[in-house]
Structure 1
Amino acid sequence: MADLSEPRVIAVGGPTASGKTALSVALAKTFDGEIINADSMQLYKGLDIGTAKSSPEEQQGIPHHLLDFLPPETAYSVADFTAAADPLIREISGRGRLPFVVGGTGLYITSLLNGMSFAPEKTDPAIRARLQAQADAGDGAALYARLQQIDPDYAALVHPNNLPRVIRALELYESTGRRMSAERVNARAARPPYRSLCLCLTCRDRAVLYDRIARRVDAMIENGVLDEARRVYEHRETYRTATQAIGYKEFFPYFAGEQSLADCTEKLKQATRNYAKRQLTWFRRQNEAVWLYLDEEDVTARACALVREFLQQ
């Protein structure tokens, strides 16, 4: 149980296209809040359409932090996120405002709310270079298969295409003999650093969510996501994180003249549906989460009632 002197935090999570941006802005306006981005791709400058980054109009004047600030060439980890978000939470709370942590990267949200501590990782440049060379040669599937062998618990949390995390876990094991899953267990704080309420958005009927995803992808095409994706494709040697992001890599075969735009667009819709399933699985493992269903209720009204009750406790 968190100490009563600790800041209160509202987290808003859930799968892509579930309406996290609109709900969090409405809550922040109602409860005098500020938003801390917890989406691992919306950190990056210039990657707006493919990451569904909120526009200034959608933000409605609500201060947003850790959003659109990082060059695409820069690597950023969950340890970097928690180190940046914690002082922001305390600074926002110190000004008498309510911090909202919002995004679809479940690892970011749960690590922050659970007070995960990340000791400096022992690194070996030679091991990392060898693993990266293997990934660059197109052998990422073999790297992931090896991670499944040595650390199946952690592999279950990592998408096979998230090669930076796969490589970090393999490097840790080769350098120290320690498994990343065990590191995460040991890193969890004995007591949460905040008093938190985690709200998760979804649809009871999965078909409704999938329809929202399809409409979002179609809108991304209309709004010019191909220009962003082409820039990522042309800088794929340096935009390593963006290269792995859903919303960009699905168009690479189109740029290479190997597939039609229609095929790549359908591939993106399927990849996004699969990502939404993984997000749902992650957030459902968080027993403290309160679920709100877009297709069954007025989620803004219910969320406001839940936040109001939480603040009165």
Structure 2
Amino acid sequence: MSEKEKVVVLIGPTAVGKTKLSILLAKKYNAEIISGDSMQIYKCMDIGTAKIKKEEMENIPHHLIDIRNPEDPFSVAEFQEMVRSKVSEITSKGKLPMIVGGTGLYIQSVIYDYQFSETPSDEEFRNILERRAEQEGNGALYKELTDIDPASAENIHPHNVRRVIRALEIYHCTGKTMSEYQKNQSPELLYDTALIGLAMDREKLYERINLRVDIMMEEGLIEEVKSLFDQELKDCQSIQAIGYKELYEYFNGRVSLEDAIGNLKQNSRRFAKRQLTWFRNKMNVEWFDMSNTADPNEFEKKFAEISAHIEGKLKIKSNT
């Protein structure tokens, strides 16, 4: 049996500090970074998705950023295929692949043996649901999913109509809920994986999220979203991202700017909570508390602990 490829996976809620840590780890272990974020794949959506800036990359190669136009759909299955290909490509160069992000289902689909090709589909039924969504609104389908499969509904945003329809389609085709179907998937890790989670005291994390939104506004988030709005991009997956849908409400005249920003902060905090719940329930993560890492000594200590965990788990040494 051939040896499994080694992968570091760095996960955690929004604003916990994944970017800074990922660069330091990448330098230490000669790694290349693969984005594990479902929205950073989109071009022209930089500020709202907290995309790493060119100067922050410090010459570390980053993959799966800016690979789709905002109007393009993108599925978990596509992500799975692309990332697995990148893992092999990076490994073949003698470098360490590191997946960094906060989209739990996407990352889970890569490192565990999920077979999306085997998931049944019914195009006619899907078309019916799409017409219903147009006529009755997304809420009607989401309520139906909540009644049938509350576990899946908990992990799917009500506005993500593609995933709501997919979950209903799986139930229609198999008589099993999507959560039941996923339970029957093999939980085996495909890679020799160091799965690291960053956590933080809730109050501190929420403060950081609120501050991050304020910084996004200063950096030009309104202009970024207005540019998409002016292109009349609306019924597409990308615009359901937090930071975009809230400002669309403002541009559509439904809420004040102040309320839109308040909603953006609240939705970001709720999202962080959902992310943590997902990671804790679905993956076997080694958690590190980053609550006090504003103190450089404390940060150094945590960095050393995380490094020791990676070296022990993957049986590798640093190149520094």
User: Could you say whether these structures have the same fold, taking a TM-score greater than 0.5 normalized by the shorter chain as the test?
Assistant: yes
Aligned twin of 1:223: 219
Aligned twin of 1:45: 43
CA contact (8 A) 1:232 1:242 kept: no
Give the distance between the partners of 1:29 and 1:202, measured in 2 at CA.
22
1:68 Cα deviation from its structure 2 partner: 1.0
Give the distance between the partners of 1:201 and 1:177, measured in 2 at CA.
37
Aligned twin of 1:119: 117
Residues 219, 12 of structure 1: alpha-carbon distance in 2 compared, 3 angstrom cutoff: same
Identity of aligned residues (%): 42
SS at structure 1 position matched to 2:41: coil
Aligned twin of 2:142: 144
Residues 169, 25 of structure 1: alpha-carbon distance in 2 compared, 3 angstrom cutoff: same
1:79 Cα deviation from its structure 2 partner: 1.0
Higher mean C-alpha displacement, 296-305 vs 162-171: 296-305
Aligned twin of 1:262: 258
Matched, 1:307 2:313: no
1:293 Cα deviation from its structure 2 partner: 1.5
Residues 65, 148 of structure 1: alpha-carbon distance in 2 compared, 3 angstrom cutoff: same
RMSD: 2.0
SS at structure 2 position matched to 1:119: helix
Structure 2, unmatched stretches of 5+, are 293-297
CA contact (8 A) 2:71 2:233 kept: no
Q: Which of 81, 102, 105 is the matching residue for 2:103?
A: 105
| Counterpart mapping for 1:235-254 below 5 A | 235=231, 240-254=236-250
Give the distance between the partners of 2:82 and 2:287, measured in 1 at CA.
27
Normalising by the residue count of structure 2, what TM-score does the alignment of the two structures yield?
0.90
Aligned twin of 2:193: 196
1:176 Cα deviation from its structure 2 partner: 4.8
1:125 Cα deviation from its structure 2 partner: 3.9
1:155 Cα deviation from its structure 2 partner: 1.9
Aligned twin of 1:54: 52
Q: Which residue type is aligned with residue 260 of structure 1?
A: S
Give the distance between the partners of 2:51 and 2:283, measured in 1 at CA.
28
SS at structure 1 position matched to 2:229: helix
1:220 Cα deviation from its structure 2 partner: 0.7
CA contact (8 A) 1:169 1:179 kept: yes
Residues 38, 138 of structure 1: alpha-carbon distance in 2 compared, 3 angstrom cutoff: farther
SS at structure 2 position matched to 1:262: helix
1:276 Cα deviation from its structure 2 partner: 0.4
Matched, 1:24 2:11: no
Normalising by the residue count of structure 1, what TM-score does the alignment of the two structures yield?
0.91
Residues 145, 30 of structure 1: alpha-carbon distance in 2 compared, 3 angstrom cutoff: same
Residues 287, 79 of structure 1: alpha-carbon distance in 2 compared, 3 angstrom cutoff: closer
Residues 114, 262 of structure 1: alpha-carbon distance in 2 compared, 3 angstrom cutoff: same
1:271 Cα deviation from its structure 2 partner: 0.5
SS at structure 2 position matched to 1:302: helix
CA contact (8 A) 2:170 2:178 kept: yes
CA contact (8 A) 2:192 2:314 kept: no
- 1:29-68 deviations in whole A, cap 9, x for unaligned? 1100001111000011111111011111111111111111
CA contact (8 A) 1:42 1:48 kept: yes
Matched, 1:207 2:210: no
Structure 1, unmatched stretches of 5+, are none
Q: Which of 6, 9, 27 is the matching residue for 1:8?
A: 6
Give the distance between the partners of 1:128 and 1:227, measured in 2 at CA.
36
1:226 Cα deviation from its structure 2 partner: 1.0
1:172 Cα deviation from its structure 2 partner: 2.9
Higher mean C-alpha displacement, 206-215 vs 161-170: 161-170
1:179 Cα deviation from its structure 2 partner: 2.8
Q: How many residues align?
A: 309
Residues 23, 223 of structure 1: alpha-carbon distance in 2 compared, 3 angstrom cutoff: same
Q: Which of 166, 169, 172 is the matching residue for 1:171?
A: 169
Residues 120, 107 of structure 1: alpha-carbon distance in 2 compared, 3 angstrom cutoff: same
